[in-house]
Amino acid sequence: MSLTKGKVNQISRQVYKQFPEMQGAEPKITPQNAPARANGGGKKQQKTISQKDASRYLLTFNGKAELPNGHTIHRVVRVISDGRGKIIKITTSR
């Protein structure tokens, strides 16, 4: 199952708020393999999750950032999200 347009817009708004230079950038969405363990951290406790929640997606935003000296740099923001649209991790290039 893929992310709905509404969930992508919700994630995009959060990215635009944190990285204003990404405003208006459309993300490239790539399905990812879910981790083997849903609860992580090496815990032995088993947790049942639905297939929708187990799926993960990589959203890649490309944009340009203005530097104080007037130069611009290319910037990439990568967002890992679950099937419910919850952001798991955000990373950025500089």
Instruction: Determine whether 29 is exposed, middle or buried from the number of CB atoms within 10 Å of its CB (0-12, 13-18, 19+).
Output: middle
What was the pLDDT predicted at 12?
A: 96
Question: Residue for token digits 């740099």?
Answer: 73
pTM of structure? 0.76
What was the pLDDT predicted at 46?
A: 47
The model's pLDDT over 81-92, given as tens digits with 9 standing for 90+, comes to 998 999 999 999
The model's pLDDT over 7-63, given as tens digits with 9 standing for 90+, comes to 999 999 999 999 998 999 999 999 988 666 555 555 544 455 555 456 899 999 999
